[in-house]
């Protein structure tokens, strides 16, 4: 059974029932034992939502990755209170982004690490899907109905123009699933809170479009905002009015994009909000093992039922997916280190530093004066981990817990986003960026119970304190750019880090909790602050909590939600939808929590500084509280803040740089065990997928042969070997003197599957495959419908082939076949209520019930106080009854 609304309900309903009864037993046991520790799961609504999300993700791992992608990329209509206008980022913006990335990588990295400069520009759609999102009540009254050719969506884009705060939102989903549809309700909430508009980008996803495809799409979306093409409806948005925001994989993409903009001297946004950013794909931090039970992420990672798409090795290699390494010469920069270092190699690597090969203690002593030790690392630190001298193994070799053990070597790709050899590239795992300094202000949020907690805490401190937390030497040895960045970008980035007690990955999903309500309010205040003030002001005071005069949020207590004002006029539209949709109501809770957090922060900052204390106490002050470059806080389950412990007391900050960004033994073994279980469980599915691949390869060959018969001719400029490998013989390649092919590339260029000469796409990349239905669909579209400029002719589909396409579920006789579900949204009319809408309705129900429960508790407490006051005579009973 594939991932669908029905299968999700069948799988999740027993989980919800089980959680309901288990919750009561656990609470009773906790009460009996006198356990007073606060846990978010003490709330039945969070307990249910947590296990529902966890169960859904686990169900997704037991289905094919295409099935999960299709379900989470199904188009879902927007709620009536929001204005959502779909647009497409054009190829011109995509090509500008590609040119920037080509310059950033450089020819050597493009060839040795990325695999070329064309394959990742291949796409099925004519751009990148995106959406402009805001509150319907925020639209202006601009009259644009005179143009009969303009749709309502286009009109709404023009009516948003006065909203000058813009959030570029990049959704998460492990780089391989999720879409603007799964995150739309969250984005609407952000836009409502910060009183602006958001632009959500539906970037291409792995494994069909692996790194750096998503990076190109997000960069293209940013360029589309600040440098719109001539035919775009919106005016250029100043970068100072844009804020990046992303969760999980989206947060990692935002951080990587910020470093690229910095390196290339391009205008950065005003700031960035990183929600549980995934920044270390090697899983080298301890929380990846310690927090499995308290997070929604599956223990074995994002595995999948075998299909023609994934995994690459449908059946495990003869000797297993992990094997002991063998010794060979050291690799070239950017290539995988599959070796255990020989004595001569270690001596050769250590000689420039004049460190004795035989004395490990001398190595430690020589390192004691480096910036590493300035960050709190000492030789007697029991938590510093294993000492390996200067040797830092590259994937797919595994860093062993015992340095005397023969290193293991992974024989299968472990992440869908990038090959195992690419995981240590700084644009894949931004924790390995040479420097995270000189970036715009960052607001970083993490859950204390999530598996990514440690890496999030670490990158926040790396950004705020570049000199205290240097990157490991292996990164700068392999990349001149990263070495240069270490030297050039030393200015601390302004960072506000908050770790939420007991919360799991992407806490904002659980929007009905007090923690999430506080987070939404704080994010809105951050967006407003960094977009409303100039760069000089932000350099002096980057945090809204320290801004004077105080934010306008302090005067919003009396405001009613705009939906409440118009609820009566829209009731009929709710009934027509077939759903009792959640009414988003903003009460004073999140505002009060934010106020209380600000008061706690300024008291903590000013307690030891008389000048700051006087500024804090002055309610009429107009000068910001200066001199603060990093705010470090923890947030309890009620949304109340407190200072974070000292840096030296945080285990994640005591890890040595040479251990970061390396695949560790424990996570690798756990992944192998999980994959072995999947191999055994889905062996028949894997064997079936192997047969299907052969059939599809034959189908692709037949498609190319018939296209040639129908007149397909390509430009020359490729070697005979590459022509043969792509199914095109030299006799069907036409010579041309057009310099736009081999010389200056035109702005409207577009590459196809036949344009990958001398390139080596990753094994999962759709551009280089012929053995999946989506690869065949891309091939057909590039031949018959959207031919790149490297095609001399566009053949006409024969009647016989059109008839065959009519009976093919993956094809269409009259229009281009559907493209990959990792890129093109699915539109279904089979089930009127999609599972994504059901989830949003469920969250709305939890929000209403949580608010009602909180209100009932407040009334009960007030009644108890009145009753006690009457008993002791300090409250007049008659006055109480008036």
Strand partners, 243: 167, 271
Q: Where are the alpha helices (H) located in 649-682, listed in sequence order?
A: 665-681
Strand partners, 630: 495
- The predicted pLDDT at position 730 comes to 43
Handedness of CA 237, 241, 245, 250 (dihedral sign): positive
Structure tokens at 640: 């109340």
pLDDT higher than threshold 50 for residue 597: yes
Handedness of CA 138, 143, 145, 149 (dihedral sign): negative
> pLDDT tens for residues 753-781?
999 989 999 999 999 999 999 999 999 99
Band the pLDDT of 77: cuts 50, 70, 90. Answer: confident
Band the pLDDT of 235: cuts 50, 70, 90. Answer: very high
Say which residue, 576 or 207, is predicted with more confidence.
Answer: 207
Lowest model confidence (mean pLDDT) among 94-98, 167-171, 402-406, 598-602 = 598-602
Residue 506 backbone dihedrals phi, psi, to 5 degrees: 55, 70
**Residue 675: HSE in the Cβ half-sphere, 13 Å Cα cutoff:** 25
Band the pLDDT of 456: cuts 50, 70, 90. Answer: very high
Band the pLDDT of 37: cuts 50, 70, 90. Answer: confident
DSSP string, 549-571: SPPGGGG-TTPPPHHHHTTGGGH
Phi-psi group of 627: left, alpha or beta (phi > 0 → left; psi -120 to 50 → alpha; rest → beta): left
Inter-axis angle of helices 44-61 and 5-32, nearest 10: 140
- 3-class DSSP state of 213: helix
- The predicted pLDDT at position 748 comes to 67
Neighbours of 590 (CB within 10 A): 21
Region 541-570: what's the mean pLDDT?
51
Cα of 308 vs its chain's centroid, Å? 25
pLDDT higher than threshold 70 for residue 24: yes
Q: Which has the closest alpha carbon to 322: 669, 752, 601, 815?
A: 669
**Catalytic residue selected from 179, 248, 276, 284:** 248
The angle subtended at Cα 10 by Cα 5 and Cα 15, nearest 5°, is: 115
Region 307-316: what's the mean pLDDT?
97
What percent of the chain stands above pLDDT 70? 73
Residue 526 backbone dihedrals phi, psi, to 5 degrees: -65, -45
> pLDDT tens for residues 341-392?
555 554 544 444 333 333 333 333 333 333 344 344 444 443 344 444 445 6
- The predicted pLDDT at position 146 comes to 60
Strand partners, 632: 497
Helices (H), strands (E): how many in the chain? 29, 14
Region 788-813: what's the mean pLDDT?
83
- The predicted pLDDT at position 395 comes to 73
DSSP string, 459-506: HHHHHH-TTTSPPPHHHHHH-HHHHHHHHH--SPPPEEEEEETT--SS
Region 833-847: what's the mean pLDDT?
63
Distance CA 222, CA 879 (A): 61
> pLDDT tens for residues 39-58?
999 999 999 999 999 999 99
- The predicted pLDDT at position 394 comes to 73
With contact defined as beta carbons under 8 Å apart, do 88 and 217 qualify? no
- Sequence-distant (6+) residues with CB within 8 A of 384 are 377, 378, 654, 655, 656
Question: What is the average pLDDT value for the chain, to the nearest integer?
Answer: 81
With contact defined as beta carbons under 8 Å apart, do 155 and 256 qualify? no
Distance CA 475, CA 433 (A): 8
Distance CA 197, CA 167 (A): 7
- The residues spanned by each domain of the chain are 1-72, 78-90+127-341+391-564+571-681
Give yes or no: 850 in active site.
Answer: no
Q: Which CATH architecture has domain 78-90+127-341+391-564+571-681?
A: 3-Layer(aba) Sandwich (3.40)
> Cis link prior to 407 (omega < 30° from 0)?
no
Distance CA 260, CA 489 (A): 12
pLDDT higher than threshold 80 for residue 434: yes
SS3 for 333-364, per residue? CCCCECCCCCHHHHHHHHHHHCCCCCCHHHHH
pLDDT higher than threshold 90 for residue 525: yes
The angle subtended at Cα 792 by Cα 791 and Cα 798, nearest 5°, is: 85
Distance CA 195, CA 559 (A): 13
Structure tokens at 719: 């070697």
Please give the radius of gyration of the chain, using alpha carbons only, rounded to the nearest integer: 28
Distance CA 748, CA 745 (A): 8
Distance CA 575, CA 470 (A): 58
Counting every residue, how long is the chain? 882
SS3 for 28-83, per residue? HHHHHCCCCCCCHHHCHHHHHHHHHHHHHHHHHHCCCHHHHHHHHCECCCCCCCEE
Distance CA 235, CA 232 (A): 8
Q: Which has the closest alpha carbon to 685: 307, 321, 313?
A: 307
- The predicted pLDDT at position 36 comes to 81
């Amino acid at each position: 059974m594939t991932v669908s609304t029905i299968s999700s309900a069948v799988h999740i309903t027993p989980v919800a029932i089980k959680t309901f009864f288990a919750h009561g037993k656990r609470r009773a046991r906790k009460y009996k034992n006198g356990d007073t520790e606060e846990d978010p799961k003490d709330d039945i609504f969070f307990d249910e939502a947590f296990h529902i999300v966890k169960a859904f993700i686990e169900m997704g791992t037991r289905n094919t990755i295409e099935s999960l992608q299709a379900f989470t990329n199904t188009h879902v209509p927007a709620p009536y209170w929001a204005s959502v206008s779909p647009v497409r980022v054009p190829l011109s913006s995509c090509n500008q982004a590609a040119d920037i990335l080509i310059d950033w990588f450089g020819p050597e990295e493009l060839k040795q690490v990325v695999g070329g400069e064309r394959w990742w520009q291949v796409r099925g759609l004519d751009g990148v899907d995106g959406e402009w999102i805001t509150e319907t009540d925020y639209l202006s009254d601009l009259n644009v109905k005179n143009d009969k050719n303009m749709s309502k969506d286009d009109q709404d884009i023009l009516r948003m123009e006065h909203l000058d705060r813009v959030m570029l939102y990049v959704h998460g989903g492990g780089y391989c699933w999720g879409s603007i549809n799964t995150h739309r309700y969250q984005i609407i909430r952000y836009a409502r809170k910060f009183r602006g508009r958001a632009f959500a980008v539906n970037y291409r996803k792995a494994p069909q479009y692996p790194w750096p495809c998503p990076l190109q799409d997000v960069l293209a979306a940013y360029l589309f905002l600040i440098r719109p093409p001539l035919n775009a409806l919106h005016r250029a948005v100043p970068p100072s009015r844009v804020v990046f925001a992303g969760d999980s994989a989206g947060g990692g993409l935002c951080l990587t994009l910020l470093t690229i903009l910095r390196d290339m001297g391009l205008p950065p946004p005003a700031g960035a909000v990183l929600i549980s950013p995934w920044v270390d794909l090697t899983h080298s931090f301890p929380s990846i093992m310690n927090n499995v039970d308290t997070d929604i992420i599956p223990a074995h990672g994002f595995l999948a039922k075998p299909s023609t798409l994934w995994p690459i090795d449908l059946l495990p290699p003869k000797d297993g997916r992990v094997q002991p390494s063998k010794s060979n010469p050291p690799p070239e920069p950017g290539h995988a280190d599959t070796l255990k270092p020989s004595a001569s190699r270690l001596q050769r690597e250590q000689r420039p530093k004049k460190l004795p090969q035989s004395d490990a203690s001398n190595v430690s002593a020589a390192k004691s004066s480096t910036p590493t030790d300035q960050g709190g690392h000492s030789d007697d630190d029991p938590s510093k981990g294993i000492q390996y001298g200067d040797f830092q193994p590259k994937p797919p070799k595994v860093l062993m817990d015992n340095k005397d053990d023969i290193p293991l070597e992974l024989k299968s790709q472990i992440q869908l986003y990038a090959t195992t050899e690419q995981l240590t590239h700084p644009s894949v795992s931004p924790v390995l960026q040479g420097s995270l300094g000189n970036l715009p202000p960052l607001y970083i949020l993490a859950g204390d119970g999530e598996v990514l907690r440690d890496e999030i805490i670490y990158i926040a401190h790396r950004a705020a304190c570049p000199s205290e937390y240097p990157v490991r030497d292996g990164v700068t040895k392999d990349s001149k750019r990263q070495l240069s960045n270490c030297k050039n970008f030393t200015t601390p980035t302004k960072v506000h880090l908050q770790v939420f007690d007991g919360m799991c990955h992407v806490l904002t999903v659980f929007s009905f909790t007090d923690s999430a309500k506080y987070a939404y309010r704080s994010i809105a205040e951050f967006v407003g602050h960094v977009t409303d003030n100039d760069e000089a002001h932000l350099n002096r005071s980057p945090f809204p909590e320290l801004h004077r005069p105080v934010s306008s949020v302090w005067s919003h207590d009396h405001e009613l939600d705009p939906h409440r004002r118009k609820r009566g006029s829209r009731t009929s539209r709710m009934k027509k939808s077939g759903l009792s949709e959640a009414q988003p109501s903003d009460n004073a809770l999140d505002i009060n929590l934010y106020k209380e957090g600000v008061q706690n922060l300024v008291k903590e900052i000013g307690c030891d500084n008389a000048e700051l204390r006087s500024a804090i106490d002055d309610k009429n002050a107009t000068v910001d509280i200066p001199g603060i470059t990093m705010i470090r806080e923890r947030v309890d389950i009620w949304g109340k803040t407190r200072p974070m412990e000292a840096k030296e007391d945080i285990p994640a900050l005591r890890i040595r740089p040479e251990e970061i960004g390396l695949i560790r033994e424990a996570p690798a073994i756990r992944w192998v065990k999980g994959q072995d279980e999947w191999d055994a469980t889905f062996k028949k599915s894997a064997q079936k997928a192997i047969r299907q691949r052969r059939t599809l390869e034959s189908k692709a060959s037949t498609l190319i042969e018939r296209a040639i018969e129908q007149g397909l001719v390509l430009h020359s400029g490729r070697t005979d070997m590459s022509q043969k490998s792509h199914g095109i013989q030299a006799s069907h390649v036409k010579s041309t003197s057009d310099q736009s092919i081999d010389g200056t590339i035109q702005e409207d260029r577009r590459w196809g599957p036949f344009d990958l000469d001398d390139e080596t796409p990753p094994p999962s990349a759709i551009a280089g495959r012929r053995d999946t239905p989506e690869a065949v669909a891309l091939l057909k579209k590039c031949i018959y419908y959207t031919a790149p400029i490297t095609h001399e002719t566009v053949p006409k589909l024969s009647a016989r082939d059109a008839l065959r396409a009519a009976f093919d579920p993956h094809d269409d006789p009259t229009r281009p076949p559907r493209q990959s579900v990792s890129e093109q949204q699915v539109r279904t009319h089979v089930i009127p209520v999609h599972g994504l809408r059901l989830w949003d309705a469920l969250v709305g129900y939890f929000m209403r019930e949580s608010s009602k429960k909180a209100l009932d508790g407040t009334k009960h407490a007030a009644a108890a106080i009145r009753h006690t006051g009457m008993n002791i005579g300090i409250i007049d009973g008659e006055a109480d009854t008036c």
